[in-house]
Amino acid sequence: MKQYLAYIAVAVLAFQSCNDFEKMNIDPNNPAVVPVEMLLPPVISGGVNTMVGSGRRAGQYVQHLAYPGGTSESDGRFNLTGANWREEWNGAVRLIKDVNQMKLLAEQNNQPEYLALAHINKVYILSLVTDAFGDIPYDEAGMGNVDGLEFPKFQAQEEVYQRMLEDLEAANTLLAELPAGVSVSRDILYNGDLQKWRKFANTLMIRILMRQSAKKDVSQQVAEIFNNPDRYPVFSSVDDGATLVYNNSSDYYAWFIQNPSSDGSGVDFSDNARISDVMVGLLKSGSDPRLPVYAAPTRNSFLANASNPNKGLEYRGQTAGLSSAEQDALYERTKYDDGDFSVVGRRIRRGDRAFLMTYSELLLLKAEAIQRNMGVTGQVEEVYQNAVDASFDKWRQVGSQSQSQNPYISDSQREAYWALETNQYQPEKGLTMIAEQYFIDSFLNGFEGWASWRRTGIPEIKPGPSVLAPIPVRYVYSDNEQNNPSLIKWVEQHMDGKMPNHNVKVWFQP
């Protein structure tokens, strides 16, 4: 009997030892399941970085920026293949995998606040993708790791937009029904303020609805959101806008200069990303105070002014799409050189903010809806002026820094702008004025400026004299994705078997 009890004691100790051993081998720094809040920062920053990257690519197509002739053959002169957009496609799919995990964990843990944010982030990320590529997977996006969904099915862009609106409606409802005091952790966009997330969701609904408005009547839905703020709160101030602030110490804003030149300019005069002549022309025509915010004075005028303050600063835009020979001819004809064109300005190069969606954008869409008699209440002239003022308000004075230290828009500059009759809203050309302001406000958000131009055709932009193709109107499916049997089947069934190139319109374009 004693021997039997001894065996039992040994067995119990061995079992306990095994349990202890397994506990010892669980790494607390690498948990098997990531808490849902840990997924939020990379999802937000990944989506924003996708948008920021569009500044140099889609920003060239819509001519926010223009590169000197011969320095950007692929994007500036449209020598394009599926390889050009590989990461724009693959990066978004990777992000949606994390969003899907957020949804799963939020549902399992009964955390509707995180489920709502997962909906909003999925819509934001895939809205960038569908605006650029057209038809995409939405319902099955990011599920390539699930058996049977290795090749997610594609859906028509019109259907994708409808799915997005449904997800945003669900997010709005989830956030409206939360008990008081509920917040979220690790929110790098709104610091846990779920009311601002709700406003972002509803404002994003307006963007998606108006994106479709050249192809279908969305008046009732647009009016319902704008005219019912209790059910659909939207941005009501500049501070409500979806703006990601980078720390610029370990997570850098893409346009930020870590080590500025010793010349005191605060910019990179050697950067080939010049402000386009279209953007500079629009800003100069209205004596717009955003010009010295967006653009640096030309290097030659900056150095001349530094030596003699009586010599004025000059701002000059670059013509888009030139070849090397055409650029040389421009220099010869005008007697300019590469120091006579404006690059991205000091305020942006020393800044830390990326604008996903702005209060100004919302007000411009509202002004458009009123002008088009879509049932939205309000005075279009007042909404338009508030929209431009909101764009100015993004560039307030930083501390006590002067205009030369960090350009900003002062009250006197604002007053001088509105004192000019040419800047007053004129209903007979109201839609043109609204679209031009949309183009200006979306500077360096290439996706949004490009999408607006494809919908409205405003402002007028022209390709270079010898470019290889018209201005691109879509991204081409990545070269890897073109081997996807799901895409091949979709193209056979819906595109006459022809893989679309960058000159084939997406659905929302008129």
Q: How confident is the model at residue 22, as a pLDDT? A: 47
Report strand pairing: 353-357 vs 242-245. Answer: antiparallel
Q: How confident is the model at residue 144, as a pLDDT? A: 81
Q: pLDDT tens digits for 429-456?
A: 999 999 999 999 999 999 999 999 999 9
Q: What is the mean pLDDT of residues 58-79?
A: 95
C-alpha distances in angstroms, 285 versus 282, 296, 318, 422? 5, 17, 16, 9
Q: How confident is the model at residue 11, as a pLDDT? A: 45
pTM: 0.93
Q: What is the mean pLDDT of residues 8-15?
A: 44
Name the band, by pLDDT with cuts 50, 70 and 90, for residue 27: low
Which of 26-35, 138-147, 207-216 shows the lowest mean pLDDT across its residues?
Answer: 26-35
Q: Are 140 and 150 in contact (CB under 8 A)?
A: no
Q: How confident is the model at residue 21, as a pLDDT? A: 43
Which of 72-81, 299-308, 345-354 shows the lowest mean pLDDT across its residues?
Answer: 72-81
Name the band, by pLDDT with cuts 50, 70 and 90, for residue 82: confident
Which of 21-35, 210-224, 406-420 shows the lowest mean pLDDT across its residues?
Answer: 21-35
Q: pLDDT tens digits for 451-474?
A: 999 999 999 999 999 998 899 999
Q: How far is it, in rounded angstroms, from Cα 438 to Cα 449?
A: 7
Q: How far is it, in rounded angstroms, from Cα 292 to Cα 97?
A: 41
Q: What is the mean pLDDT of residues 32-41?
A: 88
Q: pLDDT tens digits for 138-154?
A: 999 999 878 778 899 99
Q: What is the mean pLDDT of residues 388-410?
A: 97
What DSSP line would sit under 195-254, residue for residue?
Answer: HHHHHHHHHHHHHHHHHTTTTS--HHHHHHHHT-TTTS----SGGGSEEEEP-SSSS--T
Q: Residue 12 above 70 pLDDT? A: no
Q: Which residue has the tokens 């408005």?
A: 213
Q: Which CATH class is domain 36-254+350-396+403-494?
A: mainly alpha
Mean pLDDT of the chain: 93
Q: How confident is the model at residue 30, as a pLDDT? A: 53
Q: What is the mean pLDDT of residues 305-312?
A: 96
Q: What is the mean pLDDT of residues 243-255?
A: 94
Q: Residue 251 above 80 pLDDT? A: yes
Q: pLDDT tens digits for 83-116?
A: 888 888 999 989 999 999 999 999 999 999 999 9
Q: Are 320 and 461 in contact (CB under 8 A)?
A: yes
C-alpha distances in angstroms, 318 versus 36, 68, 272? 46, 7, 10
Q: How far is it, in rounded angstroms, from Cα 37 to Cα 104?
A: 12
